[in-house]
Amino acid sequence: MAKKLAITLTKSPVGRPENQRKTAVALGLRKVRQTVVCDDTPVIRGMVNRISHLVEVVEQEA
C-alpha cells in the first residue's frame, strides 16, 4: 500500500523568504494548524524538507 503524509503547518510563513512561503502554498497550507494529506513521493518530501522548520509531518498507511 502507498504511504501518505499528514503535513501540518505549525508556524507562520510570514516574514520568511518567498520560496518558503510559496512552498507552503504549493502544499496546500494556507493557515496555521491546517493539515493536508499528501502521497509520500520524493517531490513532496523535498518540499517538506525545504520548510521542515515550519511544519510537522506524520506518516500514515493508506
| DSSP 8-state assignment for residue 24 | H
Q: Provide CB contacts within 8 A for 58, sequence distance 6+.
A: 5, 6, 8
Structural domain boundaries in the chain: 3-61
Whole-structure pTM value: 0.92
Q: Which CATH entry fits the domain spanning 3-61: 1.10.10.10, 3.40.190.10, 3.30.1390.20, 1.10.40.30?
A: 3.30.1390.20
Burial of 13 per CB tally in 10 Å (0-12, 13-18, 19+): buried
Q: Helices marked H in the chain — which ranges?
A: 18-26, 42-50
In which residue are the cell numbers 507562520 written? 12
Averaged in consecutive runs of 10 residues, what is the pLDDT profile of the chain (62 residues)?
Answer: 92 97 97 97 97 97 80
Q: With residue 19 as reference, give the H or E element that holds it.
A: helix 18-26
